[in-house]
Structure 1
């Protein structure tokens, strides 16, 4: 009699499953909801990319005629010198439209993690001088980093977990230890090359770093490095490689400035342990 009873139980389970109710044998697609969410996240990210691209293309169309074949994002110092020579007269004749195109390109590259913004910063120094160049670089870098911050809320987690799993664990631990002085720590990271700026942009929303802290640290923390890059752009002819920007002396100065930004945290810890 045991066999028929067990068969009856199996049959009842099948009936329950067909009616859509839960049972021990029902197999649910565990990742179905996550897949759906990811799909919509990527759709939203693609929509953002489309809007940015369309806006950039419209700005491109409104520009005065030029030799568009020479307008490309530089990848080497040699490319940058050629681009600077081509754009110098253009920037003088159409300053407002050129700055609009420059800003749109810089922010687009920063938002969507396209390499080459260091060359755009050098170009700002070569074309606009120190004061105007620093303002443009800090404005564009902050706007692009902010856009990247919010974009990371949509699709940042898989990218960071794939590219920088160890850095993410390290960053998470450091943030947890410095919640009381988070702005000082974020300033230190922005001023010094301790962590890549791209990583900071992507990982910050994942670790619940408030946007006002992220924004303030970005605006202030990027000024020293922007000054170095813009000044190097003034002497573009003497620059051989991007690596020449950050020699031992320059890195020492940046870390010294960064040290003063976290000094309040160090002093607070010392008072606690005394």
Structure 2
């Protein structure tokens, strides 16, 4: 046991030295992991690259919708990213009409749209989660939403890794520094911590996505934590989608019972971490 503790300390010391080499101090003294921010030119270049990637993704979306069956004039007006429950109902009306005949096209359009929204942190995915419960059987809807959320968040992570660091350094320094400290405390149980954050509303999902690569959250852990972490809130949204036309706002999908269930699941996700820390303290 003592030998294992010595080996763990040596690994921790090596990791600490490696991170210290990568630390960057900002003007206000905050420390964030990663390469130094190189100034306004870097920010402008990052913005241009981001716009180029967005244009490419939008082109792919256009090709996906081009493969959709011929729609009437009224139906074309309903095919849009839902901003409220009325938009979601209208979209559900059109998609349900074509789901049986053009199953693959509808599924691919749903998948591409969800991933697109998550990748670029565009609002509207909550309505797509609710809509999935209306269009598909519950197990498929839950897997689809979790997969789309995991992939979209991971693409957002990679975008931030490639071009988002100047934005984090310039505008989110203090928040990123505070979260970096929290991540360091949970480094040994990071997947549990990511799941906990996805279930609870303590940090916005877009903030988690763009700051995770800056503070060295591994992509694999990030994807798995997101995939499993979004399952409980998605369960609530999908279940509400089975009664889509009884809803008038997205808030009606959340009940006191569902909030209680989410709270219990959030506690369960972090309990293994607490128990292991207690056990380590007793053994030491």
Structure 1 length normalisation: TM-score? 0.81
For the 8 Å contact 2:236–2:253, the answer to whether it is kept is yes
Selected match of 1:233 from 210, 227, 241: 241
Counterpart Cα distance in 1 of 2:159 and 2:96 = 34
Answer yes or no: is 1:168 the counterpart of 2:176.
Answer: yes
- Evaluate the alpha carbon distance shift between residue 235 and residue 54 of structure 1 in structure 2; reply closer, same or farther with a 3 A threshold: same
> Which has the higher Rg, Structure 1 or Structure 2?
1
Q: Does 1:250 align with 2:258?
A: yes
Pairing 1:60–2:65 present:
yes
In the TM superposition, residue 252 of structure 1 has moved relative to its aligned partner by 2.1
| Paired position in structure 2 for 1:194 | 202
Q: Assess if the C-alpha contact under 8 Å between 2:237 and 2:254 holds in 1.
A: no
Structure 1 residues 74-95: Cα deviation after superposition (integer angstroms, max 9, x where no partner): 1111221122112211122101
1:152-195 CA-to-partner distances (Å, cap 9, x unmatched) read 12343454567755543432221121111111111111222222
Once the two structures are TM-superposed, the CA of residue 240 in structure 1 deviates from its matched residue by 2.7
What does 1:25-64 correspond to in 2, within 5 Å? 34-64=39-69
Alpha carbons 2:142, 2:238 under 8 Å: kept = yes
Shift of 1:213: 0.8
Between the aligned partners of 1:162 and 1:82, the Cα distance in structure 2 is: 41
The aligned residue for residue 144 of structure 1 is 152
Matched, 1:118 2:126: yes
Gapped regions of structure 2 (runs ≥ 5): 1-36
Counterpart residue number, 1:12: none
- 8 Å contact kept, 1:134–1:227: yes
TM-score using structure 2 length: 0.79
Distance, in Å, in 1 between the alignment partners of 2:138 and 2:122 is 25
Contact 1:42-1:154 at 8 Å conserved across structures: no
Give me the CA root mean square deviation.
2.2
List runs of 5+ in structure 1 lacking aligned partners. Answer: 1-31
Alpha-carbon contact 2:42-2:166 (below 8 Å) kept: no
For 1:78, which of 70, 73, 86 is the aligned residue?
A: 86
Q: Deviations over 1:118-146 (max 9, x none)?
A: 01111111111311111211111111111
